[in-house]
Structure 1
Amino acid sequence: MRNSEPSIWLLILLAAVVATTPLAIDMYLPAMPMMAGELNSNIGLVQQSLSIFLAAYGCGMLLFGPLADMLGRRPLAICGLGGFIIASVALSQVSSIEWFLGWRALQALAGAAASVVVPGIIRHLYQQHTAKGMSYVSMIMMLAPLIAPAMGSGIIWLANWQAIFLFLAAYGVLVVAFSWRFLPEITSDRGQQRPAFFSGYIKVFRHKAAWPDIASSMFASFAFFCFLTAVSFVYIGYFGVSEQMFALLFGFNVLALMSANLLNSRLVVRFGPQRMLRFGLVVALVCASFLCGFNYYGLGLWYTVFTIAPLMASLGLMATNADAMIIMQFPQHSGTATAVIGTLRFGSGALAGPLLAWFFTGDALPFSVLMLLGVLAIAASQLWRRAMHSKKQAAELA
Structure 2
Amino acid sequence: MTSYSQLARLCAQRAPKLVTLTLLCALSVLPLNIFLPSLAHIARDFQTDYALVSLSLAGYAAVSVILELIMGPMSDRYGRRPIVVISLAFFTVGSIGCALASNIWAFLAFRSLQAAITSCYPVLMAIIRDTAGKEQTASRIGYAAMIWALAPMIGPALGGLVDEALGWRAIFWGLALAGTTMLTVCWFQLGETNRTRSGSIAQQFRAYAALFRAPRFWGACRKLSGLTVC
Cα distance between partner residues in 1 of 2:133 and 2:216? 18
How do residues 132-211 of structure 1 correspond to structure 2 at under 5 angstroms? 132-188=139-195, 191=196, 194-206=198-210, 211=214
**Deviation of the 1:143 alpha carbon:** 4.4
Does structure 1 conserve the Cα–Cα contact (< 8 Å) formed by 2:131 and 2:193? no
Q: Tell me the TM-score normalised to structure 1 length.
A: 0.50
| 1: CA distance, partners of 2:140 / 2:34 | 26
CA distance in 2, matches of 1:75, 1:55: 23
**C-alpha offsets along residues 70-109 of structure 1, whole Å, 9 cap, x if unaligned?**
111012101110111010000011122222111111111x
1:141 Cα deviation from its structure 2 partner: 4.3
Please report how far the alpha carbon of residue 45 of structure 1 lies from its aligned counterpart in structure 2 after TM superposition.
1.5
Corresponding position: 1:62 with 2:69: yes
Tell me which amino acid in the other structure corresponds to 1:195. G
Q: 1:43 to 1:16 in 2, by over 3 A?
A: same
How far does residue 20 in structure 1 lie from its aligned partner after superposition?
Answer: 2.1
Conserved? CA contact 1:64–1:113, under 8 Å: yes
Aligned residues with identical type, % of pairs: 28
1:128 matched residue in structure 2: 134
Q: Which residue of 1 aligns with 2:223?
A: 220
Moved more, 112-121 or 51-60: 112-121
* Structure 2: distance between partners of 1:225 and 1:42: 26
Count of equivalent residues: 214
* Partner residue in 2 for 1:116: 122
Inter-partner Cα distance in structure 1 for 2:223 and 2:199: 30
Paired residues of 1:78 and 1:114 also in contact (CA < 8 A): no
Q: Which ranges of structure 1 fall in alignment gaps of 5 or more residues?
A: 1-8, 228-398
- 1:223, distance to aligned residue in structure 2 (A): 1.7
1:77 has 2:84 as partner? yes
Match of 1:42 in 2: 49
- Judge conservation of contact 1:73–1:186 (CA < 8 Å) in 2: yes
CA RMSD of aligned residues (A): 2.1
Equivalent position of 1:98 in the other structure: 105
Q: Are 1:73 and 1:185, in contact at CA under 8 Å, matched by a contact in 2? A: yes
Task: Provide closer, same or farther for how the CA distance between residues 224 and 97 of structure 1 changes in structure 2, counting only shifts above 3 A.
Answer: farther
Alignment of 1:344-355 (within 5 A): none
Give the structure 1 partner of residue 7 of structure 2.
none
| In structure 1, distance between residues paired with 2:68 and 2:37 | 27
CA contact (8 A) 2:28 2:120 kept: no
Structure with larger RCO (C-alpha < 8 A, sep 6+) = 2
Letter of the structure 2 residue corresponding to residue 103 of structure 1: F
CA contact (8 A) 1:12 1:140 kept: no
The answer to whether the 8 A contact 2:198-2:204 is kept is: no
The residue correspondences of 1:1-398 to structure 2 (distance < 5 A) are 10-108=17-115, 110-129=116-135, 130-188=137-195, 191=196, 194-206=198-210, 211-227=214-230
Report the alpha carbon displacement of residue 180 of structure 1 after superposing the two structures with TM.
1.3
Q: 1:207 to 1:96 in 2, by over 3 A?
A: closer
